[in-house]
Amino acid sequence: MRVSPRRRASAEKTRPSVFWPAAMIVIPATAWFAKIEIEGAENLPLEGPYVLAPNHYSEFDPVIVAVATWRMGRAPRFMAKESLFKVPVLGWLLRATGMIPVARASNSAAAKQTMAQSNALVAAQSGVIVYPEGSLTRDPDMWPMRGKTGAVRLALAPEETLPVIPVATWGVQEILPRYGRLRLWPPRRRIRVLVGPPVDLSSYTDTTPGTLIAATDAIMRDISILLGRLRGEEPPAERWNPAKHGQNETGRLDS
Q: What is the CATH number of the domain that holds 167?
A: 3.40.1130.10
Would you state the pLDDT for residue 33? 96
Number of domains in the chain: 1
Would you state the pLDDT for residue 198? 97
For residue 205, is it within any domain?
Answer: yes
Judge contact between 52 and 129, C-beta under 8 A: yes
Between CA 96 and CA 19 the distance in angstroms is 9
For residue 220, is it within any domain?
Answer: yes
Q: What is the DSSP letter of 237?
A: S
Would you state the pLDDT for residue 252? 39
Q: Give the ranges where 34-100 is alpha helix by DSSP (H).
A: 61-71, 90-96
For residue 113, is it within any domain?
Answer: no
For residue 207, is it within any domain?
Answer: yes
For residue 157, is it within any domain?
Answer: yes
Would you state the pLDDT for residue 250? 47
Contacts for 40 with CB less than 8 Å, ≥ 6 apart:
4, 167, 194, 195, 196, 197
For residue 134, is it within any domain?
Answer: yes
Would you state the pLDDT for residue 4? 65
Between CA 192 and CA 105 the distance in angstroms is 36
Between CA 94 and CA 104 the distance in angstroms is 18
Domain of 132 in residue numbering reads as 51-78+125-177+187-245
Q: What is the pTM of this model?
A: 0.89
Q: β-pairing, 164-170 with 189-195?
A: antiparallel
Q: Where are the beta strands (DSSP E) in 2-89?
A: 34-39, 50-54, 79-81
Would you state the pLDDT for residue 27? 94
Residue-by-residue pLDDT tens, the chain, 255 positions: 556 666 777 888 888 888 889 899 999 999 999 999 999 999 999 999 999 999 999 999 999 999 999 999 999 998 877 777 887 777 787 888 888 887 665 566 667 777 788 888 888 788 999 999 988 999 999 999 999 998 998 898 878 889 999 999 999 999 999 999 999 999 999 999 999 999 999 999 888 899 999 999 999 999 999 999 999 999 999 999 988 876 655 443 332
